[in-house]
Structure 1
Amino acid sequence: MIAAEFFDLPESMPFQDFFHQEARPWDWLPKIKEALSGLVGNTAIRELPAGVHIEGEVHLGDSVKLPPYCFIKGPCWIGDGVEIRPSAYIRGNVIIGAGSVIGNSCEYKNALLMEKTQTPHFSYVGDSILGKSAHLGAGVILSNLRFDQQSILVNLDGERVDTGLRKFGAILGDNAEIGCNSALMPGSIVSKGSLIGPTTSFSGYLGPGQVYVGKDRHRKMPLKD
């Protein structure tokens, strides 16, 4: 399993040297902090709404739409045309691709979101990577820490692989969709074009072009164009 099976880093993101396509997808997570370590923010030259609080080094791309109030803690790189909605909380070490939606009352930390990702309402996105045009329904939680706080294991075709990570939320491939009020357990991996139904608890690995709506109730479906 390699990152190239799930997503490509957009050319619009200036971090190509840090994220290698042949690496395991979860190996990209520690690279987020490394990629942002030398970031120089540009918010000092931009007029911000009175309720937008920015701390640390934050880069805002052209035409980023800021809400009346939110909190952004650097280091954080936000691409062109991103829409940030009210009460968003960005906690640092976050990269957001162009044209994405950062939702109202959503929280993000140590996350990489490719272009045109949609996380519009009441979600937690921690220690996770979302592929291009991935979508989270309202209230989706990407859990990132085990109860016993031990290293997170990934279930791959019946084999449990130790990632060596204490915090690891989810990997979502391009065009993956998660239904409203679903919870993905730590180390969940959802392939390109796959869907998880609403109000579902999911853990493990979901292969390409599949739908999961609960235990023992999943089916294959065609991939999106």
Structure 2
Amino acid sequence: MTDQLLQPQSLFDLSDPATAALFDGCDTVWQALPQIKRHVARLTEGGRRIDGTVLDGAWLGEAAIVIEAGAVVEPGAYIVGPAYIGAGAVVRHGAYVRENVILLAGSTLGHASEAKNALFLPGAAAPHFAYVGDSILGHRVNLGAGTKLSNLGILSAKDAATGKRPTIKLVIDGVEYDTGLTKFGAILGDDAQTGCNAVLNPGCIIGPRTLVYANTSVRKGYHPADSIVKLRQNVRVMARE
């Protein structure tokens, strides 16, 4: 049962063949992360095509970049690339699109938000002050302002002998899964949301329609669909003297 929950079709609507193609051959959802680079190359065909609107003051790097008709790149945005920006997607002022980013139709990368090796499914949004690294946002996912999808563990220093970092391992229902990834941010299923200043630690998988409340730091692993993840605080209100 656990293995089934970790399959792409358990987190995302894959009825659209173009979306399903991004997960071809993936038995677990995190296997799609190292494939993003290949899919960017496929979608851009290694070239450059600007059919959308790039406003004065935006900057496009020299790598392969496709911006489809109806997409908008606002002043002050910087697209390094390679990147694919789908129809109706918006890259807002001050956004930073690094290497291997796919923004599908109607998605948003907003002000002071950064994406790297990331996949935004249709309607996904990181509108304000977000970091989305080595991560996947499902359909209509919304990240509250200041959400960070951390992709590198604090104890992941490179081995002195091999020069390699340890891979991220998840324990789900008592079963350990070695993802084989040294960088793994978060994967949020369709219609999941985070509140402001939430932090999803490396290796978080959030089920569809689940809500992560503001200021919550979420541990790695699988968090089931249709849930609420929240931080409980003790707040005292005292009279001023």
**TM-score interval, smaller chain:** 0.7 to 0.9
Whether contact under 8 Å (1:8, 1:21) holds in the other structure is no
Go from structure 1 to structure 2 and tell me whether the alpha carbon gap of 1:2 and 1:85 turns closer, same or farther (over 3 Å shift).
Answer: same
Match of 2:29 among 10, 21, 25: 25
Match of 1:89 among 81, 93, 96: 96
1:60-84: CA deviations, max 9, x gaps?
Answer: 1111122112100121111111122
1:1-54: CA deviations, max 9, x gaps?
Answer: 2111001457484x75452275210000011011123422203x7773331111
Letter in 2 for 1:54: L
Could you tell me the TM-score, scaled by structure 2's length? 0.82
Matched, 1:201 2:228: no
Could you tell me the TM-score, scaled by structure 1's length? 0.88
Question: Offset of 1:110 from its aligned partner?
Answer: 0.2
Distance 2:171 2:127 in 1: 29
Matched, 1:2 2:2: no
Letter in 2 for 1:206: H
Question: Offset of 1:157 from its aligned partner?
Answer: 1.7
List structure 1 segments (4+ residues) > 4 angstroms apart after TM superposition. Answer: 15-18
Query: Which stretches in structure 2 are left out of the alignment for 5+ residues?
Result: 1-5, 157-165, 233-241
Identical amino acids, percent of aligned pairs = 38
1:103-182 aligned at under 5 Å gives the runs: 103-149=110-156, 150-182=166-198
Helix, strand or coil at the partner of 1:199: coil
Distance 1:212 1:42 in 2: 41
Go from structure 1 to structure 2 and tell me whether the alpha carbon gap of 1:10 and 1:71 turns closer, same or farther (over 3 Å shift).
Answer: farther
The aligned length equals 213
Go from structure 1 to structure 2 and tell me whether the alpha carbon gap of 1:28 and 1:81 turns closer, same or farther (over 3 Å shift).
Answer: same
More displaced, 149-158 or 161-170?
Answer: 149-158
Whether contact under 8 Å (1:9, 1:114) holds in the other structure is no
Letter in 1 for 2:8: A
Go from structure 1 to structure 2 and tell me whether the alpha carbon gap of 1:193 and 1:85 turns closer, same or farther (over 3 Å shift).
Answer: same
Helix, strand or coil at the partner of 1:103: strand
> Greater helix percent: which structure?
2
Whether contact under 8 Å (2:52, 2:71) holds in the other structure is no
More displaced, 47-56 or 23-32?
Answer: 47-56
Distance 1:154 1:88 in 2: 31
Distance 1:176 1:161 in 2: 23
Letter in 2 for 1:20: D
Q: Is the radius of gyration larger for structure 1 or structure 2? A: 2
Distance 1:106 1:10 in 2: 29
Distance 1:21 1:214 in 2: 37
